Structure 1
């Protein structure tokens, strides 16, 4: 297995990998429209900060990837990226996304009435770097995920970032245990994720941080 930086020639294979890498997790599919999901959680990193994208390669094939930003304040927010994708792909004309966003609006209303917090971008100058990672099911347990994280943290540290944050779901217990083992700790309390369901139930976002 090799860990290396992303190259432009990886883009098509990386897009294909992104559609299967999260299988089995609560975020395997958000609203069932891969192109728009990639436009939010993959393409902006490839276009704007490719030096912070790392891939794992086994026998010449991509088996995992990590995308991130060294300074989140200089990177488009998730809300900005999502708004752009909704407009560009006209998601309200697609049944799956329409159902998801309608449910998300209803969830947000209920959450506000209950005075609960909802998921969103995390801002803390102590932990400006952030990352998203996915590994193909066949590559889990091979050390690829560990290596991807360590390469990115070394990169962020070298770039001068004092700390890094990530966001996962409390329901994804495997991910929480994994990040804990690598030195990340919970920051704040879990918050509701509007629209998303896992096994029929609402899910909750957990922010985790690590000083570099």
Structure 2
């Protein structure tokens, strides 16, 4: 594979990017959340493409997409995660899907066990921007992920944004090392992610921040 190049997302990338998203997270602890791919994409990918496409970037090699980063500068263009989740539940009637119902019930129990420590988006004016990144297995180790992050950092800085946050999992040590190398630091608690399991065990949210 040739060295990936990074460029801004454009609407003609959409179909290929959605296909890429379905395989880019393979083997990661966050590969699947509640086991219903269309609704997961409508929470963590398509709203960014629809509402803030100028904050999305893609990695391309040999004429195909091998990675992407979507994000928001925190200006309100992209709705909150809770609002996106509520819309997905209604649109896909997720309460009628047994596997999703089990996830939601488990999430409710986990939330009670968090004892006041909240898992979810960070609301702090020091770091208003956030991002989601995914790279295909064949592009890992090529520098594509780092260049995607650099493109978003430049975009945020040029927009006058004071800082960026992201959320990964404590259990995803590979991702934590990567983000640390690119200037992000752990911030706050690491509560259990409601409902989510990896290899049958609970996982914990890790918020990381980078000031610009």
In which range does the TM-score fall when normalised by the shorter chain? over 0.9
How far the C-alpha of 1:61 sits from its partner, in A, is 0.7
Tell me whether 1:43 sits opposite 2:63 in the alignment: no
Aligned length: 209
1:169-200 residue CA offsets vs partner (Å, 9 max, x unmatched): 00000000000010100111211111000111
Q: What TM-score do the two structures reach when normalised by structure 2?
A: 0.95
- How far apart in 1 are the matches of 2:111 and 2:36? 22
Look up the match of 2:145. Answer: 145
SS at match of 2:142: coil
Match of 1:99 among 96, 99, 102: 102
- How far apart in 1 are the matches of 2:34 and 2:51? 24
How far the C-alpha of 1:95 sits from its partner, in A, is 2.2
- Quick check: 1:73–1:128 contact (8 Å CA) kept in 2? no
Q: What TM-score do the two structures reach when normalised by structure 1?
A: 0.95
- How far apart in 2 are the matches of 1:164 and 1:201? 29
Match of 1:13 among 5, 13, 16: 16
Look up the match of 1:25. Answer: 28
Look up the match of 1:181. Answer: 181
How far the C-alpha of 1:120 sits from its partner, in A, is 1.0
In structure 1, the gaps of 5 or more residues are none
- How far apart in 2 are the matches of 1:94 and 1:184? 37
In structure 2, the gaps of 5 or more residues are none
Give the 3 Å change call, closer, same or farther, for CA 73–186 of structure 1 in structure 2.
Answer: farther
- How far apart in 2 are the matches of 1:34 and 1:61? 22
